Amino acid sequence: MLEALIREGSFKWLLSKRSSFAEEVEELQRSPSAGRNWIPELSPVANIVVRRCSKILETSSNELLESFNAEASDSVKSQHARNFLEYCCFKALALSTRVMGHLADKKFRRLTFDMMVAWEAPASASECLVNLDDDLSVGVEAFSRIAPAVPIIANVIICENLFNVLTISTDGRLHFSVYDKYLNGLERVIKRMKSQSESSLLSAVRRSRGEKILEVDGTVTTQPVLEHVGVSTWPGRLILTDHALYFEALKVVSYDKPKRYDLSNDLKQIVKPELTGPWGTRLFDKAVLYKSISISEPVVIEFPELKGHTRRDYWLAIIREILYVHKFINKYRVTGVEKDDALSKAILGILRVQAIQEISSSNPVQFESLLMFNLCEQLPGGYFILETLAKMSKSRELDRGNNLVAGGGMYSISALAMVSNLGFVFDSCSSSSNPSEAGLLVGEVVVGEMSLLEKAVKESRDDYKRVVLAQETVAGVKVDGIDTNLAVMKELLLPVLEVGKGLLSLVYWDDPPKSLMFCLIFTFIIFRGWVGYALALMVLFFAIFMVLTRFFNQGRPVDEIKIIAPPPMNTMEQLLAVQNAVSQFEQLIQDGNIILLKFRALLLSVFPQASEKVAASLLLTALMVALLPGKYMFLLIFLEIFTWYSPARKASTERWMRRLREWWFSIPAAPVVLEREKEDKKKK
């Protein structure tokens, strides 16, 4: 009977946990000011979110609506419900994030998640899409639209990759429990970075250069850091700032003076993974190599661990992020507030990676995909994203110079404003107590529109997907074995080989009428100076062929190339085939060396009689090139070569070829002496 009651839902009120949305809808409906705070065009979920935003902004929902209608353009008003919701969200988030420690506020966390829920069902017509009593979840579009409005949570460039990491175990939907855990991790890493910045680490260096500590490693004995320079190895402490990498070698009771490896100036730095091992061997893939023109020899930083190389991958990613952001700043000459904003983006990216590392220690994470400047180096259109960032920076700099300020609620907040609100103050805004007074720029998300950056990211991701699909086809057609690859190549080059056979048949006059016709046509083309037009006609033929093929084969699968595989070879046959190929290659090299040595003998007159003939031939050729026009010279060469094997000249050509071979064999090669390296040189 109890099971029947549960099945019928009689105990649903007792067993189910109602969401805050359902409670707020009932509260709003019972409120005497329900009519003033309820907008009919919005769904109940969107109305609740707008009501929360109005409380933060200390205004009413209708006043927010009037403000939106006054600021928004006609194109933004077309999708009224969703764009008005974004407007309210951006204004409320811009104000909420000014409060120190807002990430620790549970109401703020719930509000940002509920904004995503409302974004998926903003209009009253979409009311049935959301069940307020269920465990609510959001998709990638809602996350990519709302989360970048708070730059510490996500970024336009990496938000899709971040969403995939957060939803790896929830089938592509983000639940509040996971989202709340992620924000908890962000709060912890922010506190840790603040404590590192307030500590005495590198205090003298940071005071003079204004650098901020982003990460420290090597302070725990179970996770040491080793520096390899030449044959010497030292344990110590590794510190990453927003401008450089520092290593402090460990002494008996303290640390040595820090060594600085610059990441901000253009010193041709190379940062890459490296193999290490005892006595110079290359066994363990757990190190990072740093190389620049400022140091005499490369430095290898090793991160020993029992299993895998996660620590190395993490440090490699964050070091490269600082290096790449400074490359971006130097290449596009970004200065002032815009430079601080670019550095803020890199710092926030590192904080997000640290938070993800804390909450998903069991799942492998590609750190480069969560750092925007790393990702721009990997994506096919990454350079276009960086160019768009630079153009947006220049545009905002001009707007500030002309005292033009972008409209408040139509944009999200900037990364620099976010970092300043978190307590990390840059030089550009250190003189102002309020970040908004320092001329801070607006963010990268615009109400109701795709910003230039979002368009660049979308285009780059589409290109990346096409590259991935193309690489999958490449991986699928790779075959093993030299003989099999040669068979594939022979089949692919079959049309070219057939064309070559046809041309050789014309040159050797196997069919005299065809050869004569070809000779007359080509002679006429050369004489009239139409060689360029003939080449253009051939290229045009290929273009027309490709267009017609695309038109008639549209939607049809591509025909597979069928290749008869050669019989398999055992190990001994493979070794003999390799030995035979090496012998043939060696013979080719020997023949090439003999040709070069004979040319050297002719040039140095080792055989004077032959050298005199060659010199006379070169003199005659030079006179012809100097006196004859290029068209007639080309015509003469074509007729001479093409008519070698014509019926009238075949006998004389064979006779001259035989004499030429005899003359070539009679030329001696220039002498060569091989000197062996002496024993004393080897010992040195």
**Range in 30-44, 219-233, 378-392, 395-409 with the lowest mean pLDDT:** 395-409
Using left for φ > 0, alpha for ψ between -120 and 50, and beta otherwise, residue 629 falls in beta
- The number of residues making up the chain comes to 684
Is residue 164 over pLDDT 50? yes
The arithmetic mean of pLDDT across residues 288-315, rounded, is 92
Average pLDDT over residues 163-180: 91
Q: What's the mean per-residue pLDDT of the chain?
A: 83
pLDDT exceeds cutoff 50 at 670: yes
- Angle of CA points 222, 228, 234, to nearest 5°: 50
User: Tell me, what's the pLDDT at 335?
Assistant: 87
What is the structure's pLDDT at 19? 56
pLDDT at 23: 66
pLDDT one-digit tens code per residue, 451-496: 888 888 998 888 888 888 888 777 777 777 777 788 888 888 888 8
Report long-range pairs for 390-393 (Cβ below 8 Å, ≥24 apart). Answer: 390/328, 390/332, 390/334, 391/452, 392/444, 392/451, 392/452, 392/453, 393/332, 393/334, 393/338, 393/341, 393/342
| Residue 398: pLDDT over 80 | no
- The pLDDT score that the predictor gives to residue 16 is 43
The answer to whether 130 and 119 are in contact (CB under 8 A) is no
**Domain segments of the chain as ranges:** 482-555+572-660
Dihedral of CA 184/187/189/191: which sign?
Answer: negative
pLDDT at 8 over 60: no
CA 27/CA 40 separation, integer angstroms: 17
Beta bridge partners, 446, equal 411, 449
* pLDDT recorded at residue 261: 94
Question: Average of pLDDT values for 185-207?
Answer: 84
Task: Considering only residues 268 and 558, tell me which one the structure prediction assigns the higher pLDDT.
Answer: 268
Q: Give yes or no for a contact between 182 and 166, defined as CB atoms under 8 angstroms apart.
A: yes
pLDDT band at 179 (very low <50, low <70, confident <90, very high): very high
pLDDT of 681 higher than 60: no
- Residue of 228, 245, 249, 229 whose CA lies nearest to 237: 249
List the structure tokens of 661: 């071979």
What are the strands, taking DSSP E only, across 569-640?
none
Tokens describing residue 86: 């974004």
- pLDDT, position 13: 36
pLDDT band at 429 (very low <50, low <70, confident <90, very high): low
Local confidence band at 129 (pLDDT 50, 70, 90 cut-offs): low
Question: What confidence score (pLDDT) does residue 683 get?
Answer: 43
Q: Using CA atoms, how far apart are residues 338 and 399, in angstroms rounded to an integer? A: 12
Identity at 353, one-letter amino acid code: V
For residue 200, pLDDT over 70 is answered with yes
Please tell me the predicted confidence (pLDDT) of residue 12: 40
The string of DSSP codes covering 206-236 is HHHH---EEEEES-STTS-EEEEETTEEEEE
In three-state form (DSSP H/G/I as H, E/B as E, the rest C), the secondary structure along 36-60 is HHCCCCECHHHHHHHHHHHHHHCCC
Residues above pLDDT 70, as percent of the chain: 87
Burial of residue 42 (CB within 10 Å: 0-12, 13-18, 19+) is: buried
pLDDT of residue 161 exceeding 90, the answer is yes
Residue 450's SS3 state is coil
What is the pLDDT at residue 412? 66
Which of the two residues, 565 and 144, has the higher pLDDT score? 144
At residue 435, does pLDDT exceed 50?
no
Determine which of 126-140, 171-185, 383-397 has the lowest per-residue pLDDT on average.
Answer: 126-140
Burial classification of residue 362, based on how many CB atoms lie within 10 Å of its CB (0-12 exposed, 13-18 middle, 19 or more buried) = exposed
Q: Inform me whether the pLDDT recorded for 434 exceeds 50.
A: no
Quickly count: other Cβ atoms within 10 Å of residue 236's Cβ. 23
Task: Calculate mean pLDDT across residues 298-305.
Answer: 93
Give residues with Cβ within 8 angstroms of 41, minimum separation 6.
80, 81, 123, 124
CB 638 within 8 Å of CB 523: yes
pLDDT, residue 33, reads 58
What value does the mean pLDDT take over residues 571-599? 88
- Asked if residue 428 has pLDDT above 80, the reply is no
Neighbours of 461 (CB within 10 A): 17
Q: Any idea what DSSP says for residue 404? A: -
- Binned at pLDDT 50, 70 and 90, residue 100 comes out as confident
Do 412 and 148 touch, CB atoms closer than 8 A?
Answer: yes
Residue 403 has pLDDT above 70, yes or no: no
Q: What is the mean pLDDT of residues 654-659?
A: 89
Tokens 């946990």 identify what position? 17
Split at pLDDT 50, 70, 90, the class of 30 is low
pLDDT band at 320 (very low <50, low <70, confident <90, very high): very high
Q: Strand, coil or helix: what is 442? A: strand
The pair of three-digit structure tokens given for residue 141, joined into one six-digit string: 């579009």
* pLDDT for residue 4: 45
pLDDT digit string, tens, across residues 251-280: 877 888 889 999 999 999 999 999 988 777
CB atoms within 10 A of CB 310: 16
**Per-residue confidence (pLDDT) for residue 124, from 0 to 100:** 80
Say what the pLDDT of residue 315 is: 95
